[in-house]
Amino acid sequence: MPYEPGSSECRVLISCKSQIESMLLALDRLDNSQHIRDQLVSVHNQLEGLHALHRKVVLEKQPVSPGC
């Protein structure tokens, strides 16, 4: 996942998602880990939703430039 600068909240979310991605790669090498990987994907998706919500809130707070 590419680095995306931003608030401390964004950095935490990016870090958490990256750690989950690393866990998914490691668990892929283990037999009988599909259920755990599915749960981690679900958590990753939830974090992505939080991140998208945070980005939306930040964009809504930014003033709109006239003439753009």
pLDDT in tens, 26-39: 999 999 999 999 99
Looking at the domain assignment, is residue 48 inside a domain? yes
Looking at the domain assignment, is residue 62 inside a domain? no
The enclosing H or E element of 62 equals none
Give the Cα-Cα-Cα angle 40, 44, 48 (nearest 5 degrees): 170
Looking at the domain assignment, is residue 40 inside a domain? yes
Q: How many domains does the chain have?
A: 1
What mean pLDDT comes out for the span 33-52? 97
Tell me what pLDDT residue 2 has.
47
Please answer whether residues 13 and 54 qualify as being in contact, where contact means their C-beta atoms are separated by less than 8 angstroms. yes
Looking at the domain assignment, is residue 1 inside a domain? no
> Is residue 24 over pLDDT 60?
yes
What mean pLDDT comes out for the span 56-64? 77
Looking at the domain assignment, is residue 24 inside a domain? yes
Looking at the domain assignment, is residue 64 inside a domain? no
Q: Which domain holds residue 42?
A: 8-55
Looking at the domain assignment, is residue 2 inside a domain? no
* Confidence (pTM): 0.78
Tell me what pLDDT residue 6 has.
74
